[in-house]
Chains A and B, each alone.
Chain A
């Protein structure tokens, strides 16, 4: 798991649900095909254009609705570096930590970024800098337990010996 990386911003609004992230009708497809439909209802270009370490900056309640783990899995498969939200749904947040997809909470990130901005993320120190604007974006520090799970690449490797 990378502690530091730079990536381009993709912006999405409040209440993006898991049916939008990974539409149910493609649920039975293998991940390489299914991930091509990721976020398709709100941005049909996303899956085809997203690059490694790109960062989703989103509004409130990201990942609400179905508990389907394929939603964070698809984002991880597309090599998303992190999702930064005002808030996450409980299951999306837990699923992301459990599979090792970095999730950060920030009240201000949505207001301080535009689509296409370049961000630098440091998970170890919970800092995010908008390189395009030079502005530092305040994020909530990751809970120690959860940071440990993320850095170990997920819940199984983290609790291997318990």
Chain B
């Protein structure tokens, strides 16, 4: 019997023949940190441990940049001191972007790697056939110290995507559709593989959005096979010696779900759960106060391009805040070169500096009681973006841009 992508990677990293259900100790290839670095550091100090290999730690600051108050400023100051003290070599500071985006841009991601991250959305790197998953501060500190940790080898669920998407339907709609059909628990403790011609048809940006939201299905890994598109992306980002990376054809899956994406409509996750999904067409007209385009889920170039295409020559509803936050400064720069930023500003968008923005309720676009926000982010939990009495609707960049124009939830195919 062949091996799934998860089994292949955990076999290599543990030096065993890892099959679903086994508990193995595996060596990490890369650890990705963000603003949680100080908490990890404090645990290392408490336990009197040293870093196992500072060349395998990648760190940016993304949740609180630039700092919004004195307390956070003190934390970030402390983190810069920690980076110097631990000699973290791959530190990208406050001016690069979201950790779940920039490790790929900077050439740190390659197929077959085993990656641990502080942030749950580090699963994003499954788009490159890297087994990338999150741990809490204590276990990240343990990995910082030892370079290894225990894993339960996950069984794998395969989503076989058939056909390709219609115009203005995006990969976000696929993963929201899956969340609506299968719920937030289907992937718990499991690996997901997205395959088939539908998966191949997606751009790397589109694949990253799907992998990103695998964690909303509870998944440990959210994987795509690395194909010629993956290899091309990596080459463009300075990674030369890579090859395609696939599951064995006779690998064993816990379940295989075929999903026909040819007739998929734009999807919407209603408050306060990612699995509370309906077609946008059934929800048109719900008034919104904010439309937010950004985050490690959907703040990429493809997302900005389609938004610009939709709002070009039009004006955002005058009572609606249309907030756009690119996921990295590289994306921001390219969007500037392509005239996307200009188009968005002319349409009435507010472009904020790169980072996580209001996604987790820390700053820049916080919601008041009674406000409604349509967002390309990945979580619409109660209170996530501010008031417990605000509502968050999750949708694709196309749907968010269309809704910003009308000031109410709008099917992007109607514009």
Contact of B381 among A40, A65, A91, A162 (CB under 8 A): A65
Q: Mark A137-156, 1 if CB is under 8 A from B, else 0.
A: 00000010100000000111
* Chain B window 113-124, contacts with chain A (Cβ cutoff 8 Å), 1 for yes, 0 for no: 000001110000
**What is the CA–CA distance of A27 and B218 in the complex, to the nearest angstrom?**
22
B 356-372 contacts with A by CB, 8 A: 360-362, 366
A72 to B138, CA, bound (A): 11
B384 at the interface (CB under 8 A from A): yes
Q: A91-B120, A156-B49 are in contact. Are A64 and B184 (CB under 8 A)?
A: yes
- Name which of B129-137, B201-209, B323-331 contacts chain A: B129-137
B255 at the interface (CB under 8 A from A): no
A78-120 CB mask vs B (1 if < 8 Å, else 0) is 0000000001011100110011000000000000000000000
Q: In the assembly, what is the distance between CA of A25 and CA of B215, in Å?
A: 21
Can you list, as one digit per residue, whether each of B214-254 has a CB less than 8 Å from chain A (1) or not (0)? 01101010000000000000000000000000000000000
Contact between A94 and B139, CB atoms less than 8 A apart: yes
Closest partner residue, chain A, to B275 (CB atom): A15
Contact-residue bracket for chain B: 35 or more
User: For B284, what are the chain A residues with a Cβ–Cβ distance below 8 Å?
Assistant: none
Number of interface residues of A (CB under 8 A): 35
- B residues near A40, Cβ cutoff 8 Å: 388
Q: Is B27 an interface residue when CB atoms closer than 8 A count as contact? A: no
Whether B136 pairs with A94 at a CB distance below 8 angstroms is yes
Contacts of B39 in A (CB 8 A): 69
* B:101-119 near A, CB below 8 Å: 118-119
A159 touching B135, Cβ below 8 Å: no
Smallest Cβ distance from B159 to chain A, in angstroms?
A: 19
Contact assessment for A67 and B188 in the assembled complex, using a CB-CB cutoff below 8 Å: no
Is A87 in contact with B360, judged by CB distance below 8 angstroms? no
Q: Which of A61, A143, A145 contacts B188 (CB 8 A)?
A: A61
Q: Does B66 contact A (CB under 8 A)?
A: no
B218–A90 contact, CB under 8 A? Answer: yes
Q: Which 5 pairs show the lowest CB-CB distances between chains A and B? A: A69-B136, A95-B136, A24-B360, A67-B120, A67-B134
In addition to A72-B136, A90-B189, A98-B138, 14 A-B residue pairs with Cβ atoms within 8 Å of each other are A23-B361, A24-B384, A28-B362, A65-B216, A66-B120, A67-B120, A67-B136, A69-B39, A90-B218, A94-B135, A99-B136, A145-B23, A156-B49, A156-B141
Q: Which residues of A contact B (CB under 8 A)?
A: 15, 17, 19-20, 23-25, 27-28, 40-41, 60-61, 64-69, 72, 87, 89-91, 94-95, 98-99, 143, 145, 154-156, 159, 162
